[in-house]
Amino acid sequence: MNNEHEEIMEKKYFFDKPKNVRRFLMFFYVLLGLLVIIDFFVPKHPYFAWGEYPSFYGTFGLVACILLVLGAKYILRPIVKRKENYYD
């Protein structure tokens, strides 16, 4: 019984090996680079003028995400945070 437990604990997963993590990250970065390059050649039909800028929506999404995280951390957290001994 104990031997089965040890086999389960020693099971290795795909991302447990640093080599696989590096391969995945390299694939991810190459894919991102290709998407940025392809963005220059895809015709756009935006409703607003700023939609024609290359990678506008990706940059907008990144900035919006960063602002949401910072707003939640520095504005909302102090509002909803309770003292450590609140439930005592």
- For the chain, the domains span 1-42, 45-81
Q: Cα dist. 64→23, 57, 67 in Å? A: 29, 10, 5
pLDDT at 1 > cutoff 70: no
Q: Which residues contact 44 (CB under 8 A, 6 or more apart)?
A: 51, 52
Q: How far apart, in whole angstroms, are the C-alpha atoms of residue 42 and residue 47? A: 16
CB 51 within 8 A of CB 57: yes
pLDDT of residue 4: 61
pLDDT at 85 > cutoff 60: yes
pLDDT of residue 2: 59
Tens digits of residue pLDDT in 44-84: 888 999 888 888 888 999 999 999 999 999 999 999 988 88
Tens digits of residue pLDDT in 7-25: 566 788 988 999 999 999 9
